[in-house]
Amino acid sequence: MSILRVEPVVMDSFGIEPTLRDDTLSVKLTGTGDMAAVGPLGFFLKDIQSEALRLRVSAVAFDVRALYFLNSSCLKALISFISSVAGQGLKCKVEFITDARLGWQRRSLTALERMSPELVSIADT
């Protein structure tokens, strides 16, 4: 049985909780992705990328419904992640589970989807 070798991130205003279900690596982001979250998110995404490679998962699903805000530096980390996934030729989809009521999600993630439509998909709830 595969065990996830990446630690959750627990901060006062930001959190990341990774879980492995079948061949999907789920990542739940919560709180506020502001400047304090930039470093931890960057490191986490680097780790999760190697985990995706090691476990050969078919999808990484980011559940951002409880992520209230994501600033441009955090978004940059997500874009770098997606670029690397694409660059490594991983057969791994990136899915965002979003809440349409949150403005940033529509704005930023739609642009992400437009950028790599074959890789990124958005599921509104």
Partner 1 sequence: MSTKRRTIALLMDYVGGDYQSEVRFGVERAAEAHDVNLLVAFGETLALPGATDAAQNSIYHLIGEETVDGIIVASATLCHHIGIEGMREFLRGYAPLPVFSIGMEIEGIPSLTVDNAFGIELAVGHMVDAHGRRRVAYIGGPANNEEARTRAEAYWGALAARAVPPDERLFAEGAFTIDSGRSAMRDLLARGGEPDAVVAANDKMALGAMELLKERGIRVPQDILVAGFDDAVIARFSKPSLTTVRQPMKRLGALAMDSMVRMLDGKDVQDVALLEVELTCRESCGCGVQASASLPPPGTTGRGGAALIAAQRGSLERALRRSVSIPTGSLDGWPGDLLSALEAELTGKEGRFLHALEALLDAAGRAGAILDHFQGAIAVLRERLHRPVEDGGDGVFQDALERLWHASRIVIGSASVRVEGERRLNVELASMYLSWSARSFSTCLSLPILKRVMASELPALGFSRVAVSLYDSTHGGHDPQQTTMKTLFLMEGGREVEPPPASFPARLLAPDGFLGGGERTTLIAIPVAFGDLEKFGVAVLNSGAHELVYDALRLQLGSAVKAAALHREMIRQVELRERLEQERIHQESVVAARIQTTLVPERLSVEGLELSALMKPAAAVGGDYYDVLATAEGGWLGIGDVAGHGLAAGLVMLMIQSMVSALTRRDPGASPARLISAINAAVYENVRGRLMRDEHATLLLLRYERGGRVTFAGAHDDIIVCRARTRRCVCIPSSGVWIGALPAIDAMTRDAEFVLEDGDVLVLYSDGVTEARDAHHEQFGLERLCAAIESAQSASVVAIRDRVLKEVEGWCPSPDDDITMVVARYRAPRQP
Given the rule CB under 8 A, which residues bind partner 1? 13, 32, 34-35, 68-69, 71-73, 75-76, 79-80, 83, 103-104, 107, 111, 114-116
Smallest separation, CB 14 to partner 1 (Å) = 11
Smallest separation, CB 19 to partner 1 (Å) = 26
Closer to partner 1 by Cβ: residue 16 or 75: 75
Closer to partner 1 by Cβ: residue 57 or 105: 105
Ramachandran category for residue 89: left, alpha or beta (phi over 0 → left; psi -120 to 50 → alpha): left
4 backbone dihedrals φ, ψ, rounded to 5° = -70, 125
Residues 55 and 8: beta-carbon distance below 8 Å: no
Closer to partner 1 by Cβ: residue 72 or 88: 72
Smallest separation, CB 102 to partner 1 (Å) = 9
What's the order of all strands across the beta sheet hosting 24-33? 9-10, 14-21, 24-33, 59-70, 93-98, 120-124
